[in-house]
Structure 1
Amino acid sequence: MTTSASLPRSAIPIVIATVFIDVIGFGMVLPLLPSYAARLGGTPGNIGLLVASYSAIQFVLAPLWGRVSDRIGRRPVLLIGLAGSVASYLVFAFANSLPLLLLSRVLDGGSGATVNVAQAYLADETTPEQRTKAMGMVGAAFGLGFIVGPILGGITAAIGNTLPGIIAAIITAINLIMAWRVLPESIPAAVAANAPAARTPWRALAAPVAVLFLATLAFSVMYVVFPLFGELRFKASRSVVSYWFAYVGLATAIVQGGLLGRLVTRLGEVGVARLGAGVMAVGFLLIPPAGAVGAPGPLFYTALALLGAGFGMAGPAMIGLASRRAAATVQGRTLGVTQSASSLARIIGPIVAGAVMQAASAEGAFRLSAAMAAGALLLAATLFPRERQTATP
């Protein structure tokens, strides 16, 4: 952990703001991707592959970016990620074929180290006991960005097909310039270069990473099935689907920004993960009956809130526990591993969901997600039988 002398306290809101602005661009594009791909001839199956491509490249590169950030510092890796996102959004804006849409996702995923590097920034600055709360701060910024992003995406998509990608690129370019000018480095160069080699604590990370993987696997079904479900069951426009994603982001931000620290103090990281996985399972089970009425109603919005809140608890709790179990010199590497596990889940989830939807129905995909979330709850109950509660001051 660095001292306040090496990382000014003012850097913390800068890091959080960087994540928030970055996710605005991401949130503008993601809800529109399935419908854009469908208009270009994509089927539910290959749309699932398209959505998964972002996470496929992150699965390979996230641990490498984490290792690089441990050696050369967080700041340059963060700037590279933002620059790659600018390029990807421009490709998305002018894509007129499925291969170009695929290229835009690969570019963004290959350079997208923003979130796990931001987590490593805060891990550098916090005590182990404060770690989950810090991960929640990043998660809250992500949630808030995922409120604003889909709303902007929906508004701009109604004006023109190329506008969401262009605006996302401009917003991210401004973010890149701001980060380059004002973001300090959390690891002094001499310390990073001369830090003794430390090993990634694989055995200690296995349990939290397994629970994180299964919870993310369940949640990732939303990315490909939910936009198509909204169009099929409710005749919802792209703008309306984007607003629904924003609503999920709001539920996530409320939990991570205001409740997560108190929940961890009361229940510990493992207890919070169990609660979150259970809440997610209930949310997924509520979506099929909510879709049967022909129009979104209270049951539908309750389900969405439960999904956002549940994942907002389970994800940061396991990331915080993984970070707490790792040495200070391997925080970037460790959080790269958690990002890689999440990315693998986001590869498998959309592919499986697209296949289930094509072979059966969207409702079947949501029920499968409920089973996955229940599996995460079961894992959290069995892998940590004696895990002690971690108090957060």
Structure 2
Amino acid sequence: MSTIGVGQSGFVALIPLIADRVGLGPGAIGFAVALGSLAFLVAAPIWGHRGERIGRARLMRRLGLVALASHLAVIAVMAVPPAPPLAALGALCAARFAYGVAGAGMMPTAQAWIAGTTAPEARPAALARLSAGLGTGRILGSLAAIASPLHPLAPFALMAASTASVALVPRSAAPAGPAGSAATAQPQPPLSLRDLWPVIAIGFLLTVCFGQIQVTLGPFLQVVLNTTPADATATTGWLLALVAIAMIATQMLVVPRLRLGPHGSVVAGAATVCAGTAAILASGTVWEIAAGLALAGAGTALATPGYTAWLTGRVERAAQGRATGWLASAHVGGQGIGALTGGLAFELWPALPFLDCAIIAGLVALIAAWMGRARRHTPRGQSG
């Protein structure tokens, strides 16, 4: 999953270089990024379904080739003499659209693969390691920009090389059905969104929280710390890096040692997000804000594999790819809604986005606890 993270954060970090080389403004390049996000939103459920039919290993390798082609297209745009702005924009949009389509398939396919090959009690830890790989890739993608002084195309070559990790996908993996390739001839089990939407809604709401924090953190620091835009930007950078490290450490070191189960992980994670954002509201120094952010990041890292395991446990194995595809779309939608609502809330009151997050995360913790309690009191065979 690191290759997805590299392509996501690496391209964003290199926007100034791309703008300088191809003669496009940040707004035009931002449109290409948004188009890639839209492709991810639409394609994730589709790829989840296809992975169940043609085999997850085969689909992962094919999507890796699509991701590689998208990186090579960007390199071509950067390498040739300056093209007409419309042509350059079209090429970048096509490349990011292709990358969004590829990334949309890799994540839910890998999640469903893990869910179908691990025991329910081991599933949250396995999914946490997958999320840690994505987070590590995002950090590496941002660091790829450091290679730009060596050659303007060096970061893009590193991003393209990251797709080689897809070659490590085992070739022996069978399609999701119980009879290997014969499963493609069997009818697909029904997938009821009515049974899944409560868990998908939990993932959506927690992602809205994270989106609000990301988009308003810089302006919030500028107001609370009474600092300049440049200092606030630099502080935001290292604080977000700290959050990423806290999330990876939680996913790799904490989640595998916990025995909370999917429901317990969601409750504990959402409660931790609530505590972290509440701590930010009470903070007056950058170090107090850093502690609150790290706590909120750790809570997100704890809750995400929990509700993913919870979701996959509510459907048959052959439908897990479609379920995780819908969850991936909910994540992308949550990021977008979080950015929009966070910006609007900040205009009303700089601390309002963080208060929103504390309230939402607290409600999610209560709802997840109630759902877990109701499930324990439901006769076996009637629970989802």
Instruction: Provide TM-score, normalisation by structure 2.
Output: 0.77
Match of 1:77 in 2: 59
Distance 1:100 1:345 in 2: 28
Alignment of 1:329-340 (within 5 A): 329-340=318-329
Match of 1:372 in 2: 360
Give the drift of 1:100: 6.7
Distance 2:73 2:367 in 1: 40
Residue of structure 2 aligned with 1:169, choices 160, 176, 190: 160
Name the amino acid aligned to 1:175: S
Name the amino acid aligned to 1:131: R
Name the amino acid aligned to 1:192: A
Judged with a 3 Å threshold, the aligned counterparts in structure 2 of structure 1 residues 83 and 190 are, in CA distance, closer, same or farther, namely closer
Name the amino acid aligned to 1:316: P
CA deviation profile, 1:207-228 (whole Å, cap 9, x unmatched) = 2212111111111234444467
Match of 2:81 in 1: none
Residue of structure 2 aligned with 1:213, choices 183, 201, 204: 204
Match of 1:325 in 2: 314
Match of 2:112 in 1: 120
Judged with a 3 Å threshold, the aligned counterparts in structure 2 of structure 1 residues 338 and 145 are, in CA distance, closer, same or farther, namely same
Secondary structure, in 3 states, of the residue corresponding to 2:173? Answer: coil
The count of residues paired between Structure 1 and Structure 2 equals 357
Residue of structure 1 aligned with 2:97, choices 100, 106, 131: 106
**Contact 1:221-1:349 within 8 A present in 2 as well:** yes
Structure with higher Rg: it is 2
Judged with a 3 Å threshold, the aligned counterparts in structure 2 of structure 1 residues 352 and 279 are, in CA distance, closer, same or farther, namely same
2:260 paired with 1:270: no
Judged with a 3 Å threshold, the aligned counterparts in structure 2 of structure 1 residues 183 and 145 are, in CA distance, closer, same or farther, namely farther
Give the drift of 1:86: 3.1
Match of 2:381 in 1: none
Residue of structure 1 aligned with 2:5, choices 23, 30, 36: 23
Judged with a 3 Å threshold, the aligned counterparts in structure 2 of structure 1 residues 337 and 32 are, in CA distance, closer, same or farther, namely same
**Contact 1:277-1:374 within 8 A present in 2 as well:** yes
Say which is worse superposed, 141-150 or 338-347, in terms of deviation. Answer: 141-150
CA deviation profile, 1:18-71 (whole Å, cap 9, x unmatched) = x1344233333345669988x93549xx96x87654443222211110000000
Name the amino acid aligned to 1:40: G
Distance 2:301 2:16 in 1: 24
Distance 2:254 2:160 in 1: 33
Match of 1:13 in 2: none
Name the amino acid aligned to 1:71: R
Alignment of 1:197-276 (within 5 A): 197-226=188-217, 235-236=230-231, 243-263=238-258, 265=259, 267-276=260-269
Distance 1:68 1:329 in 2: 11
Give the drift of 1:311: 0.8
**Contact 1:151-1:242 within 8 A present in 2 as well:** no
Judged with a 3 Å threshold, the aligned counterparts in structure 2 of structure 1 residues 239 and 27 are, in CA distance, closer, same or farther, namely farther
CA deviation profile, 1:65-120 (whole Å, cap 9, x unmatched) = 00000000112321233233334445666587877765554332222121211112
Structure 1: unaligned runs, 5 residues or longer: 1-18
Distance 1:316 1:275 in 2: 12
Secondary structure, in 3 states, of the residue corresponding to 1:326? Answer: coil
Distance 2:324 2:108 in 1: 6
Distance 1:59 1:360 in 2: 29
Match of 2:139 in 1: 147
Match of 1:66 in 2: 48
What percentage of residue pairs aligned between the two structures are identical?
Answer: 26
**Contact 1:286-1:303 within 8 A present in 2 as well:** yes
Name the amino acid aligned to 2:298: A
Distance 2:149 2:233 in 1: 8
Structure 2: unaligned runs, 5 residues or longer: 79-84, 378-384
Name the amino acid aligned to 1:371: I
Instruction: Provide TM-score, normalisation by structure 1.
Output: 0.75
Give the drift of 1:288: 6.0
2:374 paired with 1:386: yes
Name the amino acid aligned to 2:49: R
Judged with a 3 Å threshold, the aligned counterparts in structure 2 of structure 1 residues 124 and 382 are, in CA distance, closer, same or farther, namely closer
Alignment of 1:88-107 (within 5 A): 88-89=70-71, 103-107=94-98
Give the drift of 1:366: 3.7
Distance 1:167 1:362 in 2: 38
CA deviation profile, 1:362-385 (whole Å, cap 9, x unmatched) = 644344333332332243234443
Name the amino acid aligned to 1:280: V
2:251 paired with 1:282: no
Judged with a 3 Å threshold, the aligned counterparts in structure 2 of structure 1 residues 245 and 99 are, in CA distance, closer, same or farther, namely farther
- Which structure would you say has the larger RCO, counting Cα contacts within 8 Å and 6 or more residues apart? 1
Residue of structure 2 aligned with 1:40, choices 20, 25, 29: 25
